[in-house]
Amino acid sequence: MKINVNTLFKMAAEGQKITMLTCYDTSFATLLDDAGVEILLVGDSLGMVIQGEDSTLPVTMEQMEYHTRCVARGAKNALVLSDMPFGSYQESPQQAFANAARLMQAGAHMVKVEGGAFMAETTRFLVERGIPVCSHIGLTPQFVNSFGGYRVQGKSENDAERILHDASALADAGASLVLMECVPAALAKRVSDGIAVPTIGIGAGVDVSGQVLVLHDILGVYPGRKARFVKNFMAGADSIQAAVAGYVTAVKARSFPAEEHCF
């Protein structure tokens, strides 16, 4: 079954967990698609796991287009979600549309934009012009220098209220998904309960519509520091296919993330 925005809303309404993994090439796109992963995220995380950079900031539009095309060729049923790289959308809604259109023409079905309520105008601009948007709030890696590192967001009441406001503003602007990264599980639940849009978590507890992890993390091959929310699904698996199937099963069964993966 071909996954689209309506499928995701239906799954969320029925309490069926949505699975998402990052993906950067055709071979893995085919494997993940066959395993039933609903969303393939062509993440700017490729800067770190593919290129060996220290952050996502060096990734370019040309690189995102290239990897989006590769993934789109292998995705028969999954929805292809592509990251808008740093510097490709912050200047103006018009700049964001021009670059989002490039990713859609490369095969994306939706684009992901980092930032809170200040990105609502840009989100609305894109949606009104036929580009579905996944909003990314909480820990937004492109803002790592502003945050002073990769830190949990929303721990204080003021920060929690800001994230709640961000989610509401972006949902009202027409976002099709709201992705939360590194926020306390209780806050993620408040966000999910408060908006009529499917929510995706990474380090955001189990009470969201779905989960996402970086492919290289679930396979245990990324050499960098492992975040608390990461689980190596290759441990005990006899193949990559089995590891991916284990991830899908665990998310659907709500056994991942467990308490040790949450904040």
Active site residue 259: no
Q: What is the largest CA-CA distance in the chain?
A: 48
User: What are the backbone angles phi and psi of residue 258, rounded to the nearest 5°?
Assistant: -90, 180
- Whether residue 224 contacts residue 233, with contact meaning beta carbons closer than 8 Å, is answered with no
Q: Helix and strand tally (H, E) in the chain? A: 11, 8
Q: Is 207 annotated as a binding residue?
A: no
For residue 223 the two structure tokens come to 């050499």
Q: Is 239 annotated as a binding residue?
A: no
**Cβ neighbours around 166 below 10 Å, total:** 23
Q: Is 83 annotated as a binding residue?
A: yes
Q: Is 193 annotated as a binding residue?
A: no
For residue 163 the two structure tokens come to 């994230």
Exactly one of 38, 181, 259, 260 is catalytic; which is it? 181
Instruction: Please provide the size of the chain in residues.
Output: 263
Alpha carbon of residue 171 to chain centroid: 16
Q: Is 114 annotated as a binding residue?
A: yes
**To 10 degrees, the CA torsion angle through 45, 41, 189, 152?**
0
Strand ranges inside 103-152, DSSP E: 110-114, 133-138
Binding residue positions: 44-45, 83, 112, 114
Binding-site residues for Mg(2+) sit at: 44, 83, 114
- Binding-site residue numbers for 3-methyl-2-oxobutanoate are 44-45, 83, 112
Q: Which residues are identified as catalytic?
A: 181
